Amino acid sequence: MKKEYMQVIDCNTNEIICSGEILNKKVCIRYRDNSNEKQICEDVFMPSMDNKHFFNSKSDRFKLHIDENEIDSTLSIPNDYIIEKWRHYKYNRNADIYHDNDIFSVDEEIKDLVRIINEIDGMETVGSCSGHYEHSLFVDIKFFDFKKLILFTTIISNKMSDKFELKTSQSIKQLENNCVILRLKSLNIGKQAYEDAQMLINLCDMIKGC
């Protein structure tokens, strides 16, 4: 896969605010039902240089210049840019930047699960939430390796189907054609869900060796 780099250019000053290699990107697609057919009414591209801050291509504060030529990495975000949590995107689509959790800033209850998933070659997490004892926990997992995708889905189906489910997200589409994103979601809530996560951690060790 070719590396891509981007520059974030302020619309008012035309100055480069920050630049660097694109490490992750999200595409948010909204559909409108029209005569029993779905039509795209919004298509938002959000690249990130640190896998935490995703720049909204629809922002009127800056424009994004993307190139395959390597450029220096500088990440400096102006204080007056509006930053919103990624999980609130469906409620507020007008922020300049959306902040998503990385492996070092996830909820304590699922930190070990997120860590071991990221240790498996061909898999990485792109979002997560513990549910905070009130909702199901979830981990969004990006699969680059088809073999690991089959192994992981088989483990969930054969050994953990009464504890977890895997589902696709209808609102988040990945640009690359060579990867798949699935959401791992617990069927239990709170303490029981965290105990189930510990069981899954032990099973994930099997995948690491494959």
Predicted TM-score (pTM) of this structure? 0.56
**What digits encode the pLDDT tens for the residues 76-121?**
777 788 998 887 887 888 899 998 766 556 788 999 999 899 888 8
| Whether the predicted pLDDT of 5 surpasses 90 | yes
* Spatial distance between the Cα atoms of 85 and 147, rounded to a whole number of angstroms: 33
| Domains of the chain with bracketed CATH | 5-99 (no CATH), 108-208 (3.90.1150)
Predicted pLDDT at 171: 44
CB 45 within 8 A of CB 25: yes
Strand, helix or coil at 100?
Answer: coil
Predicted pLDDT at 155: 95
Predicted pLDDT at 112: 92
Segment 11-27 shows an average pLDDT of 88
Higher pLDDT, 42 or 73: 73
Q: What is each CA distance from 116 to 30, 103, 130, 203, 208, in whole angstroms?
A: 32, 10, 16, 10, 9
**What digits encode the pLDDT tens for the residues 155-205?**
999 999 999 999 885 444 444 446 788 999 999 999 999 999 999 999 998
| Whether the predicted pLDDT of 146 surpasses 90 | no
CB 63 within 8 A of CB 17: no
**What digits encode the pLDDT tens for the residues 38-64?**
555 557 889 998 878 899 999 999 999
Q: At what angle do helices 146-159 and 191-208 cross, to 10 degrees?
A: 140
Q: What is each CA distance from 55 to 64, 116, 132, 153, 184, in whole angstroms?
A: 8, 28, 27, 31, 25
Tokens 């690249």 label which residue?
A: 47
Predicted pLDDT at 174: 47
Beta carbons within 8 Å of 171's beta carbon, 6+ residues apart: 28, 29, 30, 90
Higher pLDDT, 28 or 37: 28
Tell me which amino acid residue 42 is.
Answer: E
Alpha helices by DSSP H, listed for 47-188, are 111-119, 146-159
Segment 29-43 shows an average pLDDT of 57
Segment 118-140 shows an average pLDDT of 88
Candidates 102, 53, 106, 103; CA nearest to 82 is 53
